Structure 1
Amino acid sequence: MNALKPETRDWLAETGFTVKDEALWFAALTHGSMGEKQDYERLEFLGDRVLGLSIADWLYAQSDAPEGKLAQRLNAIVSREMCATIARGIGLAPHIRISKQASSDGGRDSDNILGDVMEALLGAEFIDNGFVQARGMVHLLWRPALESGAGKAKHPKSALQEWAAGNQRRPPEYELVDRSGPDHAAKFTVRVKVHKVGEAVATAGSKQEAEKQAAREFMEKFG
């Protein structure tokens, strides 16, 4: 039987989730390394959309900013890194059902896994209790990010692109120079260079995040 541990059920309730169909939440917390029929992937797909619509609705209601600014903030607030930050803030990691091997490889602290499970929990909330309640959970958990102004600053890659154009330089070139670790806890190292200016290197848990950090490093060195 797909029964949640009592401490996990208590944690879900204390966080604000409402558990009715226990098997649904069991799946939401189950990593593929467990080799079970149901894991979090389908619920993560759904939760990603619940999160996106909830945040888009919030931003539209709270601001008269143009579409481009709204999209910039939305992308930052629903990013994998932000989802992982929220997950760490509510103490999600100990409740993930993951194999010993995947856990020893760093899976419990992987931005990818934490972010995916966070979205899967939103998917479970949506199925079990409907969109209004799921949106309420998004507002509750993401409020600090929204109120902190996350996403208002220009994305580092956009800033570097504009800097290069403004200085009559070629567009920045990004190169993946290394990928290490298992799939669920991979590390990506990216180099960015601008012709006749210089280069910067950064490593992160996703190629996109590594590119962003490399662009930020470049701007700090040469901008």
Structure 2
Amino acid sequence: MKLNADLRAFEGRIGYHFTKPELLNRAVTHASMSSANRDDNQRLEFLGDRVLGLVMAEALLNLDPAATEGQLAPRFNALVRKEACAEVAREIDMGAVLKLGRSEMLSGGRRKQALLGDAIEAIIAAVYLDGGFDESRALILRLWGTRVLQVKQDARDAKTALQEWAQARGLPPPAYVQTDRQGPDHAPVFTITARIESGASAVASAPSKRQAEQAAAKTLLAQLERPS
């Protein structure tokens, strides 16, 4: 089969040309568009998740040979979680080439975090099946870019770091309060306030509560650790 112009352009964005274009076509087909004659990307997503995990585990081990399992686990989770996958998908405009059913399109499916995260995993699997493990590894490391190095430098997630800061000073764990929510159901923006018992607080907004909490914690921790 031949790819349309949008998918050929997408190949350029990810830096990989498919010898079996039907794999790419399947990888961008959401379950809402599946039929007896059209496969969706769910099985590819299942495989891609495992390939991504193996590549990231290998990359983290090679990057920091002295790291313990306890240090590696949160770094790994930060790289493979749906938020990270969706962020990568947005950078290559994954949403523009997704094949969605009408109801999914009308509900903003091209921007949904879970859908984008699943789709990039399906792309990884399609490359793996088309070109083998080395090609899929190269694709992942290319698309994730500096994130692998950055996650070593920012090894602890911000909420954990803030909680450790509070505990070290005899304070109870920080509180996270949702203070606002805007936007439609398919594209919400949450505003979270992070606060410690001493009264210090910080506010952040993001497309998910978890992201907003992490951002607020990071901002508050930076304030607390700033030299007076």
Can you list the C-alpha shifts for 1:26-77, whole angstroms capped at 9, x where unaligned?
2321234x34244333322321221121021122123223123333332333
Partner of 1:46: 47
State which drifts further: 113-122 or 79-88: 79-88
Amino acid at match of 1:24: L
Contact kept, 8 Å, 2:204 with 2:212, in 1: the verdict is yes
What secondary structure does 2:153 align onto? coil
The residue type equivalent to 1:41 in the other structure is: Q
Shift of 1:96: 1.6
Give the corresponding residue for 1:36: 34
Q: Is the 8 A contact 1:186 1:205 kept in 2?
A: yes
How far the C-alpha of 1:8 sits from its partner, in A, is 0.5
Q: Distance in 1 between matches of 2:173 and 2:120?
A: 36
Question: Is 2:79–2:147's contact at 8 Å kept on the other side of the alignment?
Answer: yes
SS at match of 1:9: helix
Q: Distance between the aligned counterparts of 2:30 and 2:120, measured in 1? A: 12
Q: Which moved more, 1:14-23 or 1:211-220?
A: 14-23
Alignment gaps of 5+ in structure 2: none
Q: Find the counterpart in structure 2 of residue 124 from structure 1.
A: 126
Letter in 2 for 1:214: A
The letter of the residue matching 1:132 is: D
Q: Are the structure 2 counterparts of residues 59 and 20 from structure 1 closer, same or farther at C-alpha, using a change threshold of 3 Å?
A: same
**1:214 alignment counterpart:** 216
Deviates more, 1:89-98 or 1:15-24: 15-24
C-alpha change, 1:83 and 1:174, in structure 2 (3 Å) is: same
* Structure 1 length-normalised TM: 0.78
1:150 alignment partner AA = V
CA spacing shift, 1:94–1:127, aligned 2, 3 Å: same
How far apart are the structure 1 equivalents of 2:205 and 2:103?
A: 23
Contact 2:26 2:41 in 1 (8 A): yes
Task: Note if contact 2:33-2:100 (Cα within 8 Å) is conserved in structure 1.
Answer: no
The alignment partner of 1:203 has SS state of: strand
Paired residues of 2:61 and 2:67 also in contact (CA < 8 A): no
**The residue matched to 1:150 in structure 2 has which SS?**
helix
**Inter-partner Cα distance in structure 1 for 2:203 and 2:190:** 10
Aligned residues: 219
Amino acid across the alignment from 2:217: A
Which of 152, 167, 172 is the equivalent residue of 1:170?
172
| Structure 1 counterpart of 2:65 | 64
Deviation at 1:218, TM superposition (A): 3.1
